[in-house]
Amino acid sequence: MEFEEITGQIIDAAMKVHSFLGPGLLESAYEACLVHELQKRQLFVERQKALPVFYDGISIDVGYRIDILVADTIVLELKAIERNLPIHEAQLLSYLRLSHKRVGLLFNFNVLHMRNGIKRLVSNF
């Protein structure tokens, strides 16, 4: 599957989950349903993937977790908050840098229309 096709499938899956559940639930509910939806589409999905910090030549587990990693290439950061803040984008960019991935999608499910809750970020790591 091409990179753009995978991204399209992810966005379509998030919109389907949001259309069914609507806003107002906990992030964990959206995460579980999105993982299920992505797996139905035959995408390789890792949920709550540990993300260590490499410092001074060693790997240090400091508790960071990628919400969802799709096809070992696209990092998904899920939120269910009133509105995204710059810190949420910074968090996703940090995860991209630490994981050496280029593309991430920030989803905020606590919106009336999911199209307003999607932000695509690209890192040069």
Residues 4-56 have pLDDT tens digits of: 999 999 999 999 999 999 999 999 999 999 999 999 999 999 999 999 999 99
Asked if 78 contacts 27 with a C-beta cutoff of 8 angstroms, the reply is: yes
Q: Give SS3 for 50.
A: strand
Single out the residue of 92, 38, 106 nearest to residue 70, CA to CA. 38
Q: How many domains does the chain have?
A: 1
pLDDT, one tens digit per residue, over 82-121 is 999 999 999 999 999 999 999 999 999 999 999 999 999 9
Query: pTM of the full predicted structure?
Result: 0.95
Cα 69 → chain centroid: 7
CB atoms under 10 Å from CB of 107, counted, come to: 27
Q: Which residue segment(s) compose the domain that 16 sits in?
A: 3-122
